[in-house]
Structure 1
Amino acid sequence: MSHWIVAPIVIPAFAAPLLLLVRRAPHLQRKVSLAATALLLAVGIALYGLAMDGTVRPYFLGSWPAPYGIVLVLDRLSATMVLLTAVLASAVALYSLNGWDEKGHHFHSLFQFQLMGINGALLTGDVFNLFVFFEVMLIASYGLLLHGGGSNRLRAGFQYVAINLVGSTLFLVAVGLIYGVTGTLNMADLAVKVSQVTGDSAAILRTGALLLFLVFALKAALVPLHWWLPTAYAAAPAPSAALFAIMTKVGAYCIIRVFTLIFGADGGAAAFVAAPWILPAALVTLLIGALGVLASRVLVDLVCFAVVWSMGSLLVAVSFFDAQGLTAALYYTLHSTLIGAALFLLSNLIATRRGRWHGLLQPSPSMVQAGLMGGLFFLAAIAMAGLPPLSGFIGKLMILAAAWPSALAGWIWAIVLATSLVVIVGFSRAGTVLFWKSEAVDASHPEPLPEPVRIAPLTAAILLVSGTALLAVFAGPVTRQLEATAQQLLDPAPYIAAVLGEQQTAGLPGRR
């Protein structure tokens, strides 16, 4: 049992209170936060390398055996997501040196608590502990959303808190229903017991499973539960919004994990109970997101709706629940997380270059460093819209290929391609207004020229944009690893055996 499995939770858990102790020393806070994030990245790389042999590794806290104690589980999927979180966190921590962290004493401690919640949700092997880590993640996100103050953030924060409190309540209700029927919340134990539930209890179990899906769909911004995201993310500080790019993916991760392991092919009466709902909702999400991109009049709003649109694409692939679909979904998860975060950071860098016009999509005098900002925005835009040669194009082709065997392939192709065209038009219009159209400066109201972008935030944005190029260059090996991950997800027997032990799972019907 490798003790490094708990490190992605322990590192930020220790760093956060330490940062509270030095909250009056911003330079020391930065050093501690950067060091903790760098260590998390190193651990993420090591765990990813450990998981790539295909072995499922449980970690039993306090040495309590499952299903009685708390268990963390490292497999290909959790290792991939932990590494993605660490990469994103490193870029955000670097960007925050632009001065965002000076607008409040608690940015870095909240940042670390957020990482603790995200990594805990990705590694836990228990549904109740998934709820606990969701709450840690969400409470920290409340603080990060409000960081720096302002009436807009306060209003957005109220909506964000309200909708997530509803989600948390539904989560508890779902947990109660599932526990009442099965007597367990350990994911591996649930995977064994749900297939044995029959009669009236099966209806209760399906209700609990659908409520869980509703909660995860809320986190993933799936229509009609998407409306909170544009308001909240647009109001959040840029580094907070960039980190939030992984939170929607945590919702998608939970859908993949729970509805392949517990309510998958061997789920009995509740097998794939959420599958019929995912594809229609994902297609509507594509439409709403694309129309939002086209209608946006502020740059950050455009980015928010682009994130909603990307989640629709991702969940279209998830809805097939086969190896090809899950491979496409995982590749698109890597792509959309990096490029979504990059666009949030770039939208802030661009807005601060434009004086009183800020992020409004209106002609303004030529901005400082217009060539550099325009080049980065161009690359990020074509990646998000799915144009060649970057990873968005490859991810979109994988999704379309996964949809081909479906009876609804014609509708899926039509909506995906049509909304992609709309998103291209939306980003083209924004880029034209920001970088090609300019107006004369009123001599009576001259605009003070902002300073050039500092090295740290510029480096963070460049690294994230470069990530999409690297995903395209190494698409072959990355896809092969993700195919192995998808195959591991569709065969839950090794996961169950690793957590519960071979003797507890031997001879169970329906287990491959």
Structure 2
Amino acid sequence: MNHLLILPILLPLMCGALLLVLPSREWLKRALSMLATLALVPLAVVLLLQAGDGQLHVYALGDWRPPFGIVLLLDRLSALLLLVAAVLGSAVALYALRGDDRLGPRFHALLQFQLLGINGSFLTGDLFNLFVFFEILLIASYALLLHGSGAERVRAGLHYVVLNLTGSALFLIALGLIYGVSGTLNMADLSARVATASGDQVPLLAAAGLLLLLVFALKAALLPLYFWLPRAYAAASAPVAALFAIMTKVGIYAVLRVCTLVFGDGAGELANLAQAWLWPLALATVALGALGALAAQDLRLLIAYLVLVSAGTLLAAVAAGSPEAHAAALYYLLHSTWVAGGLFLLADLIARQRGSKGSALVPGAALEHPALLGALFFFGAVAVVGLPPLSGFLGKLLLLKAVPSVALWTVLLLAGFATLIAFSRAGSTLFWRVGLSSLDSAELDIGRLGATLLLLASAVLLVVLADPLLDYATAAAAQLHDLGPYRAILKEGAP
């Protein structure tokens, strides 16, 4: 059995538990957290190469064979998303080391548990453990969102907690309904049973499937369930907001996995159950996210609305249903997660040089480092708007080519134009409508700057490595649509 498969779960689990019991030596906790987070990057690369052989790799916990035992499943899709989480987590840990981890207790332990929940969600092979890992990452995110102080943070955190607790209750109801009807929660096994469902089973499974879609849509911030996200992300501390850039992607991953493996083309009477709902709601999410970005009076809030735009764009590609659309979506997911995380960190660098004005889009003092921060702001704006030659342009081009829909073309192009206007207004306010002198307290920490550059540089790296990445994304999408090997796992068991 290949034990590498469980390491992305064991490593943050053991590190997080150790950080809770270690004596209060800040340097030791910081070093351990940083080493554990950085170790996830080469581990994710190894698993990415391993999944590249086209085989499905199964890890049966306790050596109990599926569908009876708990299994972890590694395919190209999960391996790619493990890499996304590892790189983002490393940049967040590096940024937090420069002082943000002191805003409240247990930051590094919570970071490890958050990564545990994210990695587990990408690797699990059954719906119940998807629920378990969802709860782990959500509990950690509740504490991380409140990390620090401030009334706005508490208000946003309260809404976030209540909505997600409601989503968790609905998730359990859906799981109970599915298990009662089908007798299984293993996704590969469920795929085979849904395909042969008949009679009274069909409407019950349809109800459960739509309930799952509702829960995943809440996690992915799909209209009308996205209202919690902008204020929560804008109120969070910079490293937490950057880490949360992947939170909606966990929901999108769940939609993609379930809608292809369980309720995809091979689901018989329940084939493409969610498509009729996803497509219009995804486009509406893009449109309203762009309007929110236009109306935002704070840079952090502006970036939070852009997370909504990217989530809606990805869900539209998922709803399109074709392997080509899914391959384009995977490339765009890499771009949108890392660039959005970098922009949250950049917003904090800018806010630190504006004193009490912070990230509010109002005239303030001159920045201490206007040339450097202005260049990074311009670079990030070009990337997120989707202008050439950076990865945002290539990602949107791939999506438009893969989904030749007038509605998608219209919404994406108009949203891009609205985003361009929003960033132009923000840039002119932050860098041009300023006083003659800067604040004496302005700072630009090298460690924070390095973490920000690490994420923003992905907009160039994704273009340089576009060919192998697109080949991998295309193969991942093709593998996702080939249900035979997934269902064969049940007969062969774990190796």
How high is the TM-score relative to the length of structure 2? 0.98
**Pairs within 5 Å for 1:74-473:** 74-404=74-404, 409-440=405-436, 448-473=439-464
Q: Does 1:490 align with 2:486?
A: no
C-alpha deviation, 1:246, in angstroms: 0.7
Moved over 6 A (4+): none
C-alpha deviation, 1:440, in angstroms: 4.3
Aligned counterparts of 1:392 and 1:64: Cα–Cα separation in 2: 44
State the one-letter code of the partner of 1:480.
Answer: D
Superposed CA deviations along residues 279-314 of structure 1, whole A, max 9, x for unmatched, are 101110111110111101111010110111111111
State the one-letter code of the partner of 1:55.
Answer: Q
Superposed CA deviations along residues 121-144 of structure 1, whole A, max 9, x for unmatched, are 100001000000000000000010
| Match 2:491 to one of 490, 497, 501 | 501
**Is the CA contact (8 Å cut-off) linking 1:326 and 1:486 kept in structure 2?**
yes
State the one-letter code of the partner of 2:307.
Answer: V
Q: Does 1:478 align with 2:474?
A: no
Which residue pairs with 2:44 in the alignment? Answer: 44
**Is the CA contact (8 Å cut-off) linking 2:368 and 2:439 kept in structure 1?**
no
**Is the CA contact (8 Å cut-off) linking 2:352 and 2:442 kept in structure 1?**
no
C-alpha deviation, 1:451, in angstroms: 4.5
Which residue pairs with 1:444 in the alignment? Answer: none
Aligned counterparts of 1:450 and 1:270: Cα–Cα separation in 2: 61
Superposed CA deviations along residues 88-117 of structure 1, whole A, max 9, x for unmatched, are 101001010120111222000000000000
State the one-letter code of the partner of 1:433.
Answer: T
Aligned counterparts of 1:153 and 1:136: Cα–Cα separation in 2: 21
State the one-letter code of the partner of 1:84.
Answer: V
Aligned counterparts of 2:402 and 2:275: Cα–Cα separation in 1: 15
Aligned counterparts of 2:82 and 2:434: Cα–Cα separation in 1: 43
C-alpha deviation, 1:503, in angstroms: 9.1
State the one-letter code of the partner of 2:430.
Answer: L
Aligned counterparts of 2:23 and 2:433: Cα–Cα separation in 1: 44
Superposed CA deviations along residues 194-248 of structure 1, whole A, max 9, x for unmatched, are 1111112100000100111111111111111110000111111110111111110
Aligned counterparts of 2:232 and 2:294: Cα–Cα separation in 1: 19
Aligned counterparts of 2:493 and 2:288: Cα–Cα separation in 1: 49
**Is the CA contact (8 Å cut-off) linking 2:386 and 2:396 kept in structure 1?**
yes
**Is the CA contact (8 Å cut-off) linking 1:57 and 1:75 kept in structure 2?**
yes
**Matched pairs, number:** 494
Which residue pairs with 1:34 in the alignment? Answer: 34
C-alpha deviation, 1:72, in angstroms: 0.1
Report the 3-state secondary structure (helix = DSSP H, G, I; strand = E; otherwise coil) of the residue aligned with 1:380.
helix
**Is the CA contact (8 Å cut-off) linking 1:58 and 1:71 kept in structure 2?**
yes
State the one-letter code of the partner of 1:231.
Answer: R
Which residue pairs with 1:53 in the alignment? Answer: 53
C-alpha deviation, 1:502, in angstroms: 4.3
Aligned counterparts of 2:491 and 2:459: Cα–Cα separation in 1: 40
Aligned counterparts of 2:342 and 2:442: Cα–Cα separation in 1: 21
Report the 3-state secondary structure (helix = DSSP H, G, I; strand = E; otherwise coil) of the residue aligned with 1:449.
coil
C-alpha deviation, 1:23, in angstroms: 5.7
Q: CA 1:145–1:23 in structure 2 vs 1: closer, same or farther (change >3 Å)?
A: farther
State the one-letter code of the partner of 1:81.
Answer: L
Superposed CA deviations along residues 346-386 of structure 1, whole A, max 9, x for unmatched, are 11111111112111111222111111111111111111111
C-alpha deviation, 1:457, in angstroms: 1.0
C-alpha deviation, 1:320, in angstroms: 1.0
**Is the CA contact (8 Å cut-off) linking 1:23 and 1:106 kept in structure 2?**
no
CA RMSD of aligned residues (A): 1.3
C-alpha deviation, 1:456, in angstroms: 1.3
Which residue pairs with 2:65 in the alignment? Answer: 65
Aligned counterparts of 1:359 and 1:502: Cα–Cα separation in 2: 56
Gaps of 5+ in 2: none
C-alpha deviation, 1:473, in angstroms: 1.7
C-alpha deviation, 1:33, in angstroms: 0.2
Aligned counterparts of 1:448 and 1:476: Cα–Cα separation in 2: 46
Aligned counterparts of 2:125 and 2:239: Cα–Cα separation in 1: 30
C-alpha deviation, 1:448, in angstroms: 3.9
**Is the CA contact (8 Å cut-off) linking 1:24 and 1:105 kept in structure 2?**
no
**Is the CA contact (8 Å cut-off) linking 2:346 and 2:377 kept in structure 1?**
yes
**Is the CA contact (8 Å cut-off) linking 2:145 and 2:237 kept in structure 1?**
yes
Aligned counterparts of 1:322 and 1:412: Cα–Cα separation in 2: 15
**Is the CA contact (8 Å cut-off) linking 2:34 and 2:90 kept in structure 1?**
yes
Gaps of 5+ in 1: 442-446, 505-512
**Is the CA contact (8 Å cut-off) linking 1:383 and 1:390 kept in structure 2?**
yes
C-alpha deviation, 1:149, in angstroms: 2.1
Aligned counterparts of 2:367 and 2:152: Cα–Cα separation in 1: 26
State the one-letter code of the partner of 1:356.
Answer: S
State the one-letter code of the partner of 2:449.
Answer: L
State the one-letter code of the partner of 2:348.
Answer: N
State the one-letter code of the partner of 1:396.
Answer: K
Aligned counterparts of 2:484 and 2:441: Cα–Cα separation in 1: 58
Aligned counterparts of 1:82 and 1:138: Cα–Cα separation in 2: 18
**Is the CA contact (8 Å cut-off) linking 1:355 and 1:449 kept in structure 2?**
no
**Is the CA contact (8 Å cut-off) linking 2:354 and 2:442 kept in structure 1?**
no
Aligned counterparts of 1:23 and 1:350: Cα–Cα separation in 2: 35
Report the 3-state secondary structure (helix = DSSP H, G, I; strand = E; otherwise coil) of the residue aligned with 2:17.
helix
C-alpha deviation, 1:120, in angstroms: 0.5
**Is the CA contact (8 Å cut-off) linking 1:222 and 1:282 kept in structure 2?**
yes
State the one-letter code of the partner of 1:501.
Answer: K
State the one-letter code of the partner of 1:201.
Answer: Q
**What percentage of aligned pairs have identical amino acids?**
50
Aligned counterparts of 1:181 and 1:196: Cα–Cα separation in 2: 12
Aligned counterparts of 2:493 and 2:32: Cα–Cα separation in 1: 46
State the one-letter code of the partner of 1:162.
Answer: V
